[in-house]
Structures are given as C-alpha cells and as structure tokens.
Amino acid sequence: MTEKAKVFTVGLRATKPQDSQVAKIEKLARAIGIDKFAWDKKLVAVKTHFGERGNAAFPRPVLIRPVVDLIKNGGGKPFLAETTTLYTGSRSNAVEHTETAIRHGFGIEVTGAPIFMCDGLTGRDGHMVKIDGTHYQEVSVASGIQEADALVVVSHFKGHELTSFGGAIKNLGMGCCSRSAKLAMHTTIRPTVLASKCVKCGICFDWCSAGAISQPKPDGPVVINPNLCRGCGECLISCRNSAIRINWSDDAQGVTERMVEHAYGVAKTKPGSAFYISFLMNIVPLCDCVNFSGAPVVPDIGFAASTDPVALDACCLDMVNQQIGLVGSALKEAHEPGKSKFCDLHPDLKTELQLEYAEKIGLGTRKYERINLEQ
C-alpha cells in the first residue's frame, strides 16, 4: 500500500505578529525541512511565477522572502528562477521577462534573491533528461534548473484554461522547461507561416537547423515543411513580425499528459532536493500567464507545502472544493462546499487528469495526510 505523503497547511487568521503571512510561510517551510537541509554553498532555484503584464493574481513577492532567507541562513545561494513563454507577450525573452518581474515587485530588494532566466536569453537553453514516458523518451529541462543543486517551487494555485487547474505540477512541467519543450507540450502540430504578416525577410531560414523553412517560388509565400520540422521553436523567436503561428492543440488530455511527463523529467533532476509551497490566495479561473485576472472563485484559504508535488496539488484541490463559491465570480453552479469548482469553470476539461497521470508515472502520490499547523 502506498504511504500517504504529508501536506502541511496554514490558514490566514491572524491576531498577533507571529500570525503574519511571512511567519506562516516560514513555519510551513520549516515543516517540510527547508531549515534543516544542507544548503551550504548550493545554488538553489526558487521557481515562482512573475505573472504576465496586466495580471495581478500572481504570488506576492514579499512572501517569497521568508523562503529565500531560510535558504540563505543555511548557507545556500538562492535565485528566482523563470523561463520564457512560448507566445508573444511581456515574458517571451529574458529581457522583457526580467522587466516584467521587476515591474511586478520581484526585484532583489524585496525578495532577497537575484532573478535568473534559466532557459537563456530567448528560451533556447535546455538540457535533455531521459524519462522513458509514453509521450517522450527525453524532455528538455531549462539548463539553469537542471544545473541548480536544489529546487524550491513556490506556486500559485488557481484555475487553468488547458489543464483545469495549475499548481505545483504545472509550475514544474510548463514552468521549468525550455521553449522547445513548451512547444512540444502545447502541440504536436508543427508551426506555420502567416502570409498576411510575413515580409519575406528570410531571417527565420538561418535559424532553422532542420532546413524546414523555405520560399519555394521567388515571389511566393514562405512555408514550413512539417515533415522536416523538428518542433524546436527557434523560428518563433527569430521572427520579429510574429508571422510564425503556433497551432495550439485542442487535445487538452494530450497537453496535460505531456506537461506531466515534463514535470516528471524536472523532478528527476532533483532527487531529495526539491520542496513545494503553494499559495491558495486569489484563486482565479485562469492562469497567471493571461494578461488580466478575473474575480477569485472562492475566499482566500492560506498556504500549503509538501515534498510531494502530486500530494500537494491533490490537497490544494480538495481545499478549494471544500470552500463556498463566491457570488459574482465566474462560477456557474458549484458554489456549495464539496462541489468541484474547476469542473464548473472548465467543463470540457478533466480536472483530476493531471493528478491521475502524475501518480501513474511515479511523480508522486495522490494519497496525503493533511497536517494543519495551526491546530
């Protein structure tokens, strides 16, 4: 019989300084062993989410600080780890992503740690990790994540438009991999060139190591040969006219399973040296990658932590479902405690799928023992 994983939780009630949110996060971090870990001189990736510009639901930077301080007190060298996005936005290269992070308050003066984009300037830096999965035999983990000695994943638990909800597993899988991995997760269909935007400059030809992009006729359109394309995503970055289109997959189950396999690959690089903390605040319907944030669907709950990302997400999901849904939010019918909030928000998606698949491939267990540190 699989042993239950421990998930520690704290709520938000406060009547004295020791109840501050900073103190509560420190308490949680200690509960999962962050204070006792042998950090000495280790480079520690603290992976969070800086939020797309326009979004305001991402974790508060000041609440990352207690985690950073504990690692530093133990002699570790923490840095705030992020990777570039696949789509054009305010985080599609290291320069704009760092600017967005600073704008959102994640500068070193607040968090205590420098920002480092783990997949390089434009998302190309990945390290292949063998996983023997169903979709992949190997996955491209962002180099800075792979090279770090330890990983602390600080996630915002909320809804998600492709995977129903996003928490620790999503932050690991989608958040810690290179651009080519993100493309592979999102679609199995190769990119295409939008003739209406393409100025036929030919810049992308030089970036495509597969020789898949060409202009067959002198005045004709630029095209991508899907049989030659390896799905590396280089052309997406090289085109300054946003003329290369990602053919987003409508296969939500495939996207979820591919994301979970990437999460497995990332976790595989940190045996015994990965910790997970999730914020159950601002629980909005969509990911922090969108450039707005809707009304929260349940009241703020608090924080949770574990060394098992699957148990942590399973516990967070249950905690959200136990809440009373907020009137005026995007919830349609599942306001009653016990009803599945994310099934209501995203009825076409299978909410439990990422947990089931993550357990199946050995990323962790859905069986958890919840330990409320405030009792």
Which of 221, 347 has the CB closer to ligand SF4? 221
- d(Cα 310, Cα 126) in Å, to the nearest integer? 24
CB of residue 132 vs ligand SF4: minimum separation in angstroms?
Answer: 25
The amino acid present at 68, given as its one-letter code, is: V
313-372: which residues touch ligand SF4 (CB under 6 A)? none
CB of residue 199 vs ligand SF4: minimum separation in angstroms?
Answer: 5
**How many residues in the chain?**
375
- d(Cα 313, Cα 159) in Å, to the nearest integer? 12
CB of residue 123 vs ligand SF4: minimum separation in angstroms?
Answer: 12
Which of 227, 375 has the CB closer to ligand SF4? 227
Which of 210, 252 has the CB closer to ligand SF4? 210
Q: How far is CA 81 from the centre of its chain?
A: 11
Which of 57, 184 has the CB closer to ligand SF4? 184
Which of 230, 332 has the CB closer to ligand SF4? 230
Q: Is 213 one of the binding residues for ligand SF4 (CB under 6 A)?
A: yes
CB of residue 120 vs ligand SF4: minimum separation in angstroms?
Answer: 16
Pairing of strands 164-166, 158-160: antiparallel
Which of 31, 224 has the CB closer to ligand SF4? 224
Task: Please give, one letter per residue, the 3-state secondary structure of the chain.
Answer: CCCCEEEEEECCCCCCHHHCHHHHHHHHHHHCCCCCCCCCCCEEEEECCCCCCCCCCCCCHHHCHHHHHHHHHCCCEEEEEECCCCCCCCCCCHHHHHHHHHHCCCCHHHHCCCEEECCCCCCCCEEEEECCCCCCCEEEEEHHHHHCCEEEEEEECEEECCCEEECHHHHHHCCCECHHHHHHHHCCCCCEECCCCCCCCCHHHHHCCCCCEECCCCCCCCEECCCCCCCCCHHHHHCCCCCEECCCCCCHHHHHHHHHHHHHHHHHCCCCCEEEEEEECCCCCCCCCCCCCCCCCCCCCEEEEECCHHHHHHHHHHHHHCCCCCCCCCCCCCCCCCCCHHHHHCCCCCCCHHHHHHHHCCCCCCCEEEEECCC
Which of 103, 230 has the CB closer to ligand SF4? 230
CB of residue 4 vs ligand SF4: minimum separation in angstroms?
Answer: 43
CB of residue 222 vs ligand SF4: minimum separation in angstroms?
Answer: 5
Could you give the string, one character per residue 226-265, with x where binding to ligand SF4 holds by CB under 6 A and - elsewhere? ---xxxxxxx--xx-x-xx---------------------
Residues in contact with ligand SF4, counted by CB under 6 A, come to a total of 29
Could you give the string, one character per residue 177-206, with x where binding to ligand SF4 holds by CB under 6 A and - elsewhere? -------------xx-x----xxxxxxx--
**Interface segment toward ligand SF4; rule CB under 6 A; list 43-51, 106-114, 119-127, 225-233:** 225-233
**Interface segment toward ligand SF4; rule CB under 6 A; list 12-20, 84-92, 109-117, 221-229:** 221-229
CB of residue 213 vs ligand SF4: minimum separation in angstroms?
Answer: 5
Which of 212, 283 has the CB closer to ligand SF4? 212
Site for ligand SF4 (CB under 6 A): which residue of 212, 260, 310, 331? Answer: 212
CB of residue 228 vs ligand SF4: minimum separation in angstroms?
Answer: 7
Quote the tokens at residue 327.
Answer: 């009137």
Which of 184, 361 has the CB closer to ligand SF4? 184
**Interface residues toward ligand SF4, by CB under 6 A:** 190-191, 193, 198-204, 207-208, 210, 212-213, 222, 224, 229-235, 238-239, 241, 243-244
